[in-house]
A and B are shown apart, each in its own frame.
Chain A
């Protein structure tokens, strides 16, 4: 049962433009949402997160937007750079009870930024 879904397996964007990666979730109990970036042969690297009580969080070129009513979040990268080319995973966590420490992941979106 995939509680976090990334419906676009790939996205191709020109350098300098905006990249928008989308993520949907089904579990209304999620307290925190995270984005990880993964290069081949490496583990995922934390990028940015957002609490469920907020609707936007910004860190440099990266902004995450959360729409709780739609159970949807998105990651905006502006401007996109070739070094951003990687697989991006959306993840979520319930911050209580028996599921502490467990991240629920989407299946990832391969972002390719071309010059």
Chain B
């Protein structure tokens, strides 16, 4: 069974630009969560989608948005990039996001904002 895939793996952007990251979950998984990892803050929750609906959202500004498609693939978008958005963005998929549904992570997208 294929794992969680994320594209692209690396991205370099300049301040003010926008970026779209993609996540393909494990087949059959309907929940996709996004996390931002930075050295100072660790793994911070961005948002979670289940069956194309955002179920909950972390404490990030409105510049961070996402969506999920009918095939459970998910995208996140960051508009008006800032230097502080440089981070590893991880997505995780699980069957339904319940506590006993193991969340499997992708390799991440490394975003650098110059």
Give the B-binding residues of A (Cβ under 8 A): 31-32, 36, 41-46, 49, 51, 89, 91, 93-95, 98-108
Contact = CB atoms under 8 A, between A and B. Distances in A.
A49 B107 contact: no
A107 B104 CA distance: 18
Contacts of B50: 100-101
Contact of A102 (B58, B90, B104, B106): B58
* Residues of B contacting A: mostly: strand
Contact of B107 (A41, A46, A98): A41
A107 B41 CA distance: 7
B105 A45 contact: yes
A32 B102 CA distance: 11
Contacts of B43: 44, 89, 91, 103, 105
Interface in B37-54: 41-45, 48, 50
B105 A108 contact: no
Contacts of A45: 105
Contacts of B92: 43, 103
B55 interface: yes
Given A42-B107, A46-B103, A105-B42, A100 B97 contact: yes
Interface residues of B, number: 29
24 contacts: A32-B100, A36-B105, A43-B4, A43-B106, A43-B108, A46-B102, A46-B104, A49-B102, A51-B99, A89-B42, A94-B99, A95-B98, A100-B31, A100-B56, A101-B31, A101-B97, A101-B103, A102-B45, A102-B58, A103-B33, A103-B92, A105-B42, A105-B43, A106-B42
B99 A95 contact: yes
B33 A43 contact: no
Contacts of B102: 46, 49
Given A42-B107, A43-B105, A49-B102, A100 B4 contact: no
Contacts of A42: 107-108
